[in-house]
Amino acid sequence: MAEDGVYARQAVSARYEETMSVEIRGFRPADHAACRDLWIEMVEDRRQMYDDPAVGGDPGAAFEEYLTRLNLSGMWVADDDDTVVGFTGLLVWQRHGEVDPLVVTADRRESGLGSRLLETVSEEARRRRLEYLTIRPPARNLAGMHCAHQAGFTVLAEVTLRQDLTDHERLDGIDLRGLNFQY
């Protein structure tokens, strides 16, 4: 059993080193199609996560709308030998920044790319002297929460509660301040 852990650590280490050769750079117009495809992949993941084909509406149109946001203050891509494998954006309201979205293609997740993209956005937020930076991963995206937590997003700032007026299936198991929530 101990050997399994050694092999797992070696695989993660090799995957992380492979990721270090990926360039994190500013978005270029030529990245449009690749980022649009990543946005669609993100929406499809959320649809599966919540077993709801309506999540995210028309993802292609949503990406185009995202690009027109007046508070979109920067976008960065993870470029692996001229192939975009992830991207993120920074939305700014006065002195507050929000990471939205953070997307890494499925076969490159858990490789450190999400963390590197978050580091880039955090550096930009500091450079702009923002007071704080937030990120809002879906409640069922445990890997996304781990990535954000490891990147320094450790302050619980706001909780959004929802009353579900449909028959969507929910999972039990999140306790916060003595209260149990579904997600």
Cα dihedral angle (97, 153, 21, 8), rounded to 10 degrees? -160
In order along its 183 residues, the chain shows pLDDT tens digits of: 566 655 555 544 445 555 678 999 999 999 999 999 999 999 999 999 999 999 999 999 999 999 999 999 999 999 999 999 999 999 999 999 999 999 999 999 999 999 999 999 999 999 999 999 999 999 999 999 999 999 999 999 988 898 989 888 888 888 989 999 998
Structural domains of the chain ordered from first start: 2-152 (3.40.630.30)
- pLDDT in the model for residue 111: 92
Listing DSSP states for 102-157 in one string gives EEE-GGGTTSSHHHHHHHHHHHHHHHTT-SEEEE---TT-HHHHHHHHHTT-----
- pLDDT in the model for residue 19: 65
- pLDDT in the model for residue 98: 98
- pLDDT in the model for residue 2: 60
Residue 12 CA to residue 40 CA, distance in Å, equals 27
